[in-house]
Chain A
Amino acid sequence: MQRFSILGLLALGSIIPSTSVAETPTTADEIVVTAARTAQTADETLASVSVITRKEIETTQAETVVDLLQHYAGIDAVRTGGPGQQTSIFMRGTNSDHTLVLIDGVPVSSINTGSYQWENLSLNEIERIEIVRGPRSALYGSEAIGGVIQIFTRKEKQVTTEAIAGSFDTYGANFSGGFGDKTKIRINASHKQAVGFSAKNSTASYDYDPDNDGYTHKSIGIGLASNISDSATFDMYAHRSELDNEYDIGTSNTKQDLVTARLNLTPSTKAAYRISAGSYQDVLSSYESSSSSKITTRRLTAGVQTDRQLGNNSMLVLGLDYRTDQGINYDLGGSSTVFDKKVDNTGSFINWQKKKSSGSLELAARVDSHSQFGTHATGQAAWGKNLANNRKLYLSLGTGFKAPDLNELYHPGYSGGSYAGNSALQPEESRSFEIGIKRSEAGLKRSIDLFYNQIDNLIAYEGTNNQAINVSKALTYGLELAQKQQRGKWTIDSQLTLQRAIDESKGTALLRRPNEKLSVRVIRHLNNNSSAMIETLLSGGAVDYGPVSLGSYGVVNAAYNRELNTKWRFSVRLNNLFDRKYEVADGYNTTPRSFLVNLSYRPG
């Protein structure tokens, strides 16, 4: 009996706590709350979004941005020759000046031509590219008709150096490094040059010169990022790049300068504020025997934006942005200014989003006030529904616009004033509709989208004496199918585009945009963070000026990326494995069979 009681007491004792009130706090087990990183440019559930990461740039060993973008559905990349030559990007069959390009939030298209010089972008400087298809003028204003491509500059946490060599006497060196903790400094620098290959080929109907057309491309960027306090972060980046390029009838030099500064305030879980400012300048000097010109864009941008969390599942965004652009067209031969003009634009926008477990809704509206054409309003509405089996359905309607560029407005024209600009031009306008289904689960991401764009008031040089007028119309529509599958050590990423891009006023196909494109990329992950990749790009034919038919083609590229040890990595890229001769622009060469090797060193 006694033993039992003692045991009983002991048992009791083991469950009575040894301390009573206010014991020192124990630390509980850690709770981890995770979320997948979302795109910043747009809500991925209500739009067709593709994100290109630094990892993809390394796995594919892409040499230029064309190599990266060409893989994706809804994008056509056309370059008149090798790296360094003039590059145009067409999204969903729309014009090359209907894609808004932002670098760290600053628009970088030329105010004179309306397009961005993609050839001046060094891949070394890129952390991430977000491609958002479809109109987004209701948030970003002018140019966001076919889509938005937002580039985020590289933010390495350690130091990486690379040495590159390859065909056509290509040599290059890259540096990217980050230093510091609370205040981080980052530097991205690259140098690349090549003897190159001739931009035009012998089938060209004019201006063919068989000599090689080389380039030298230099780029440097310095950034500063600081956590000023627990509710304020500051980020600043200054970048300059310079491209010297040869082409068949001349040479060109492009200097591009970009400065951005952003202050983000997040004082609570309910509201966030951003103040941003930027400056962009690009100067394109072209030297040809018949004419030489210097074309300058100078831009200043400033904006404020507030994001407010309303209740549990709504977000309201309000913003104001201002930009002023100066465009100068200077004739170097005659030492005279062709035009020197300024335009400015103020935009105010509102965006409301509601997200529930069943689906989401987004409404956006923006009003732009432009010094040349006055006021223009755009809007967007998107609705999404979550279906069974990890699928999401979405529908989106939106309007977009493109402000006339300075060549279209103010160019005095040529002999007799023909092909002159028109200061009374109105913006080009678009109406778009899209419907899509996405599926996203472990190891599989699939999407299908149907899009339709009607573009009116397109500017064409068809007025009296070929003056620029808002007379044309375009229609683009199509289907995009994308699938990225992960199985064991394999990744298969396929992107299919079937589209029609039509000049409605003439009833002809729009130039240089093929009706079919299929890109399949297969990656085999190897041990030690290494990989091998092979990609096949199949393209249907297109139409070029003339009209001339460009034939359909298939190109195969491969890359091998191998980690030698923790500090050294070796990679090789093989372009056009089967040395296929094909054209994306009439009379211009594309990259022949060639290689590029890359040796990288990470001391950290």
Chain B
Amino acid sequence: MKSPLLIFLGISVATHTALLAWHGVATDLLSRGQQIQVSLLSGERQVTVNASRHGNDGNSGNKTAEKETANPAAVAQPNSNKHDSGSRDKDSASVASLPQRAVTPSSGEKISREIHRLLAARFTYPPLALRQGYQGLVLVTVSIEPNGKITGVTLARSSGYRILDLAAVESVLAIHRAPQLQQWLRGRSISINVPVNYRLIEA
């Protein structure tokens, strides 16, 4: 009874190989493992920064449809994503060197983008919340002194889970100071609300 099995195996391997030889668009419905993705959302403009080694295309691993525009002035992101199109690959230095225009983005926006840059690398999904499957949106208020020192972080709105609230607050506090903000603060203290959305994706 071995030969029918071998024939079936042969057909199976042949069909399998034929199907695999297709060059379809790889749909990212499968997990990238336990890598954490931090997305920067700027109104309608959404760019994903892949904090893992799995950086590939600029598309987010999330299932939500995300749009990207090529407005170089508005977006700042770390350079870890090699496949970004050139128009999006700007860091804060490039933003600073843009010519002055009649209506410039407000310093508030620049500060919020700088805070994004700082926070992007610092947020991790708390392992104990991941085990329980907790998700939620936390709103924290960050107070920054003119020299860039982060003097206070308070919880403005809870996600419904203390562990996520604490994780967001602790992540911001861990930054201590952001001297790069000085140039935008220009001697002011500022208070800014930062929404942090902890989301789980199905593997």
Contact = CB atoms under 8 A, between A and B. Distances in A.
Interface of A: 11, 14-15, 17, 20-38, 40, 44-45, 51, 53, 227, 229-231, 233, 264, 266-272, 307, 309, 315, 390, 392, 440-445, 484-492, 494, 516, 518, 520, 522, 536, 538, 540-541, 551-552, 554
A309 B61 contact: no
A266 B115 contact: no
Contacts of A30: 41, 137, 195-197
Using C-beta atoms within 8 Å of the partner chain, give the interface range for chain B. Answer: 35 or more
B29 A25 contact: no
A516 B34 CA distance: 32
Contacts of A445: 30-31
Nearest to B102: A14
Interface in B108-150: 108-109, 112-113, 115-116, 119-120, 123-134, 137, 141
B182 interface: no
Interface centre among A35, A266, A445, A536 (most CB of B within 10 A): A35
Contacts of B8: 536, 538, 554
A33 B199 contact: yes
Given A15-B100, A38-B130, A490-B24, A32 B41 contact: yes
Given A32-B37, A269-B163, A440-B30, 5 more contacts: A26-B192, A33-B123, A37-B200, A390-B32, A444-B30
Interface in B53-103: 53-54, 56, 61-62, 100, 102-103
Given A33-B199, A230-B162, A486 B193 contact: no
A66 to B, nearest CB: 21
A579 B172 CA distance: 63
18 contacts: A21-B189, A24-B191, A27-B193, A28-B194, A30-B41, A32-B38, A35-B199, A36-B33, A36-B34, A44-B34, A227-B160, A266-B134, A269-B166, A269-B170, A392-B33, A443-B27, A443-B28, A552-B2
Interface centre among A32, A307, A442 (most CB of B within 10 A): A32
Contacts of B37: 32, 34
Contacts of B30: 440-445, 484, 486
B152 to A, nearest CB: 12
A20 B186 CA distance: 9
Nearest to A494: B16
Interface of B: 1-2, 4-5, 8-9, 12, 16, 19-20, 22, 24-43, 53-54, 56, 61-62, 100, 102-104, 106-109, 112-113, 115-116, 119-120, 123-134, 137, 141, 158, 160-163, 165-167, 170, 186, 188-203
B134 A26 contact: no
Contacts of B24: 487-490
A30 B160 CA distance: 17
A567 B137 CA distance: 30
B162 A485 contact: no
Interface centre among A33, A44, A267 (most CB of B within 10 A): A33
A445 B132 CA distance: 24
A128 B148 CA distance: 48
A486 B190 contact: no
A44 B9 CA distance: 29
B20 A492 contact: yes
A146 to B, nearest CB: 24
Contact of A23 (B39, B141, B190): B190
B102 A268 contact: no
A445 B129 CA distance: 25
Given A32-B41, A37-B203, A26 B193 contact: yes
Contacts of B62: 32, 34
Contacts of A11: 100
Nearest to B45: A29
A36 B201 contact: yes
Interface centre among A28, A230, A440, A487 (most CB of B within 10 A): A28
A181 B23 CA distance: 45
A121 B33 CA distance: 31
B128 A231 contact: no
Contacts of B132: 233, 264, 266, 272
B47 to A, nearest CB: 10
A445 B34 CA distance: 13
Contacts of A484: 30
Q: Which 6 interchain pairs have the tightest Cβ spacing?
A: A488-B24, A28-B112, A35-B125, A443-B26, A32-B39, A440-B33
Nearest to A272: B128
A37 B31 CA distance: 9
Nearest to A231: B162
A230 B165 contact: yes
A52 to B, nearest CB: 12
A22 B26 contact: no
B180 to A, nearest CB: 15
Given A34-B61, A390-B53, A518-B9, A440 B32 contact: yes
B196 A390 contact: no
Contacts of A307: 128, 131
Contact of B203 (A36, A229, A444, A491): A36
Contact of B4 (A14, A536, A552): A552
Contacts of B123: 31, 33
Nearest to A37: B200
Nearest to A487: B24
B194 A271 contact: no
Interface centre among B31, B115, B190, B197 (most CB of A within 10 A): B31
Contacts of A264: 132
Nearest to A55: B202
B196 A33 contact: yes
A37 B202 contact: yes
Contact of B39 (A34, A442, A518): A34
A34 B36 contact: yes
A487 B25 CA distance: 6
A465 B134 CA distance: 57
Contact of B201 (A31, A35, A51, A267): A35
B195 A28 contact: yes
Contacts of B199: 32-35
A27 B111 CA distance: 11
A317 to B, nearest CB: 10
Contact of A31 (B2, B104, B194): B194
Given A35-B36, A269-B167, A442-B26, A552 B128 contact: no
Given A26-B193, A28-B115, A29-B41, A485 B56 contact: no
A40 B131 contact: yes
Contacts of B20: 485, 487, 492
Contacts of A520: 12, 16
A489 B27 CA distance: 8
B188 A33 contact: no
Given A268-B162, A554-B4, A441 B192 contact: no
Contact of A536 (B12, B39, B120, B141): B12
A229 B33 CA distance: 31
